[in-house]
Amino acid sequence: MHNVLIVGASRGIGLGLTRACLERGDKVYAVARNPNGEALAELHKQHPQRLVLIAGDLTATDVAGHIEAALQGEQLDILLFNAGIMGPQHQDVAQASADEVATLFLTNAIAPMRLARQLAKQVRSGGVIAFMSSQMGSVALARSAEMPLYGASKAALNSLLQSWDRSTERPQACLLALHPGWVRTEMGGDQATLDVATSVAGLLATVEAHLDSTGCHFLDYQQQTLAW
């Protein structure tokens, strides 16, 4: 049984992670902008003792305080940043407004890293801090031609993660950037190759395999290493 905190738990992969962790007996702290939605409320009904719902927007500057209050000093084994957005439909640098760029990079790169640094002291030594990245964030693989703004935001996330790994403030935890595969969610769309349950099972096995280890890795849901 692990203590797991998932940021962005309301739907898609985040909801799937929350469900799977509860099913295997974990205590889950689920952060969502609207924690009163139908799916999370149903899970809470089934697991009232092991699911703690926390209202929070990843990008809000005071969200760390709310989460810390809800944790009540409890140490985490796994801290998972799942929340993310695709950015504007046009994905065009020439059309992108300052607001679109700010929201995209704040949500996908700056805010998760800021919150991770604030919450790192709540993660036990040997725990895992994982970020939902994407293969589109790989500069080396260059697979984001159709979604360049989104890809750039995930590349920024990966870059910030590597900088954290090399800094003196690095926590005593394993740091992971994860690619969940192409998953049928609101973001992934109907044509995606994977269902949520398959992706989530692989992601959790990948995280599990890195408990009580060190380093900073970019891995997909099948534990394959991706080039940064």
Ligand X SMILES: NC(=O)c1ccc[n+]([C@@H]2O[C@H](COP(=O)([O-])OP(=O)(O)OC[C@H]3O[C@@H](n4cnc5c(N)ncnc54)[C@H](OP(=O)(O)O)[C@@H]3O)[C@@H](O)[C@H]2O)c1
Of the candidate residues 187, 198, 211, 223, the single one contacting ligand X (CB under 6 A): 187
Contact (Cβ atoms closer than 8 angstroms) between residue 180 and residue 199: yes
Length of the chain: 228
Q: According to the binding rule CB under 6 A, does residue 12 interact with ligand X?
A: yes
Of the candidate residues 3, 18, 91, 107, the single one contacting ligand X (CB under 6 A): 107
**CB 185 to ligand X: min, Å:** 3
**CB 132 to ligand X: min, Å:** 4
- Residue burial 32-69, b: 16+ Cβ < 10 Å; e: rest: beebeeeebeebbeebeebbbbbebbbbeeebbeebee
Q: According to the binding rule CB under 6 A, does residue 128 interact with ligand X?
A: no
Judged by CB, which is closer to ligand X: 132, or 155? 132
Judged by CB, which is closer to ligand X: 136, or 174? 136
Judged by CB, which is closer to ligand X: 6, or 76? 6
Two structure tokens written together for 10: 């309301």
Judged by CB, which is closer to ligand X: 124, or 198? 198
Q: Mapping DSSP to helix (H, G, I), strand (E, B) and coil, where does residue 176 land?
A: strand
**CB 114 to ligand X: min, Å:** 12
C-alpha distance from residue 158 to each of 144, 151, 226 (Å):
14, 11, 11
Please give the Cα distance from 82 to 132 (Å, whole number): 5
**Residues ≥6 apart with Cβ < 8 Å to 186:** 11, 12
Q: According to the binding rule CB under 6 A, does residue 177 interact with ligand X?
A: no
Please give the Cα distance from 81 to 153 (Å, whole number): 14
Which 18-47 residues touch ligand X, going by CB under 6 A? 32-34
Of the candidate residues 43, 188, 202, 203, the single one contacting ligand X (CB under 6 A): 188
Of the candidate residues 3, 158, 185, 206, the single one contacting ligand X (CB under 6 A): 185
Query: Shortest CA distance to 118 belongs to which of 156, 151, 162, 69?
Result: 69
Only one of the segments 4-12, 19-27, 160-168, 205-213 lies at the binding site for ligand X (rule: CB under 6 A); that segment is 4-12
Q: According to the binding rule CB under 6 A, does residue 83 interact with ligand X?
A: yes
What residue ranges bind ligand X (CB under 6 A)?
A: 8, 10-14, 32-34, 57-59, 82-85, 107, 132, 134, 179-180, 182-183, 185-188, 192
